[in-house]
Amino acid sequence: MAVKHKGLGRGLDALIKDGSTAKQQATRKAAPAPDEATGGVLEVAVAKVVASPWQPRTVFDSSALSELVESVKVHGVLQPLLVREVGSKYELIAGERRLRAAQAALLKKVPVIVVEASDEKALEIALIENLQREDLNPIEEAEGYALLQKRFNLTQEKVAAQVGKARATVANALRLLELSEGVRKYVAEGLLSVGHAKVLLALDSEKEKEILARRSIKEGLSVRALEKIVRKLGNPPKKPRAEKSDLPGEYLQTLSNDLHQFFGTSVRINPSKTLTNGRKVKGSLEIDYHDNDELDRLLTIMGYTSEL
């Protein structure tokens, strides 16, 4: 039984319909009439299809593209490209891999569906198409949201509504762009996960982010292990308080030796200390004894007499 995938909140069909206008219908009538059996698909010269300035995808897997080229050589381009008319050319909206494969296979013509779309709609459709196919890496996805937001002055809520994502998803994606170019490259190449990237965002130092990113890759650190390291960096051990002993070192050693001789047992002196703020830290004097008889002897030396 076929399973129907929900995909994103707004599918390409809805977006294309949203971008369709009466002007578009007139444009289609002016264009070469397609065969009815093609369902509105035109065959246009490959040379007349130009790349889109709104293409969010920048990384293409070379091996996968090579396989597609071989398939196109045998079967042609089976799924039409989505384009819009710009002057005498057709600007690509969706289907760059198919176009690249057609060019590499030296095809003369490719099938296209012509829609009328504003710059905003063209970017929106390109994002949706790639997101539905899961073709974008996390950085490309974030850059697509950022371009949609900045180019058309949209809030995160509006961007999320446009692409059918939760606002938190868009917000979290945009945060990845706060990382340095080097760390973003690791994420784009799949060497670091989005989970690792989110942990690194908690650090203030760009240098520490870079160092820990490389360490995570080299040592294969899990997200949890990286979290522990970052927590330690965020809560460094407290520095010991600056303090000064109230007894000079040489005198302390001489006094310890003298008391050892005087009491006939081990004696330890922990001198009082003065902190930098003037506060005092108390000292202590420890005298060892082995049994009650030795305790009585020590008490007698100290001049203590029990009244019991």
Residues near 308 by Cβ (< 8 Å), separated by ≥ 6? none
Whether residue 197 sits in one domain with residue 279 = no
Better-scored residue on pLDDT, 135 or 48: 48
pLDDT in tens, 130-184: 666 656 788 888 888 888 788 778 888 888 887 788 889 989 999 999 999 899 9
Residue 145: count of CB within 10 angstroms of its CB: 26
* 16 has pLDDT over 80: no
Question: What is the pLDDT averaged over residues 123-129?
Answer: 73
The answer to whether 200 touches 212, Cβ cutoff 8 Å, is yes
pLDDT at 241: 63
> Would 147 be classed as within a structural domain?
no
* 249 has pLDDT over 60: yes
> Would 114 be classed as within a structural domain?
yes
Better-scored residue on pLDDT, 60 or 180: 180
Whether residue 199 sits in one domain with residue 98 = no
> Would 143 be classed as within a structural domain?
no
CATH number of the domain to which 24 belongs: 3.90.1530.30
* 26 has pLDDT over 60: no
What is the rounded distance in angstroms from the CA atom of residue 62 to the CA atom of residue 286?
Answer: 76
Q: Counting beta carbons within 10 angstroms of the beta carbon of residue 276, is it exposed (0 to 12), middle (13 to 18) or buried (19 or more)?
A: exposed
Whether residue 115 sits in one domain with residue 22 = yes
Whether residue 291 sits in one domain with residue 218 = no
* 23 has pLDDT over 90: no
Lowest mean pLDDT, pick from 133-142, 200-209, 279-288 = 133-142
Q: How far is CA 106 from CA 47, 103, 129, 179, in A?
A: 10, 5, 25, 40
Predicted TM-score (pTM) of the model is 0.52
Whether residue 291 sits in one domain with residue 197 = no
Q: Which of 36, 96, 208, 307 is catalytic?
A: 96
Amino acid found at 53: P
Q: Check the CA dihedral 23-26-31-35 and report its sign.
A: positive
> Would 158 be classed as within a structural domain?
no
* 62 has pLDDT over 80: no
Q: Check the CA dihedral 84-165-65-218 and report its sign.
A: positive
What is the rounded distance in angstroms from the CA atom of residue 149 to the CA atom of residue 71?
Answer: 37
Strands 89-94 and 49-50: parallel
Better-scored residue on pLDDT, 221 or 278: 221
The answer to whether 121 touches 163, Cβ cutoff 8 Å, is no
Residue 298: count of CB within 10 angstroms of its CB: 16
pLDDT at 40: 72
pLDDT in tens, 222-238: 999 999 998 888 765 55
Taking alpha carbons only, the member of 271, 255, 273, 274 closest to residue 263 is: 255
DSSP state of 278: S
Q: How sure is the predictor about 27, in pLDDT bands with cuts at 50, 70 and 90?
A: very low
> Would 197 be classed as within a structural domain?
yes
Q: Copy the structure tokens of residue 225.
A: 């292990």
pLDDT at 32: 45
What is the rounded distance in angstroms from the CA atom of residue 293 to the CA atom of residue 200?
Answer: 65
The answer to whether 89 touches 68, Cβ cutoff 8 Å, is no
Taking alpha carbons only, the member of 36, 130, 35, 37 closest to residue 82 is: 130
pLDDT at 11: 44
Whether residue 254 sits in one domain with residue 199 = no
* 5 has pLDDT over 50: no
Domain hosting 107: range is 9-123
User: DSSP letters along 149-162, please?
Assistant: HHHTT--HHHHHHH
> Would 135 be classed as within a structural domain?
no
Whether residue 221 sits in one domain with residue 251 = no
pLDDT in tens, 260-276: 888 888 888 888 888 87
pLDDT at 197: 94
Question: Which residue among 105, 123, 141 closes a domain?
Answer: 123
Q: Mean pLDDT of all residues in the chain? A: 78
> Would 72 be classed as within a structural domain?
yes
* 221 has pLDDT over 90: yes
Domain count, the chain: 3
Q: Is 96 a catalytic residue?
A: yes
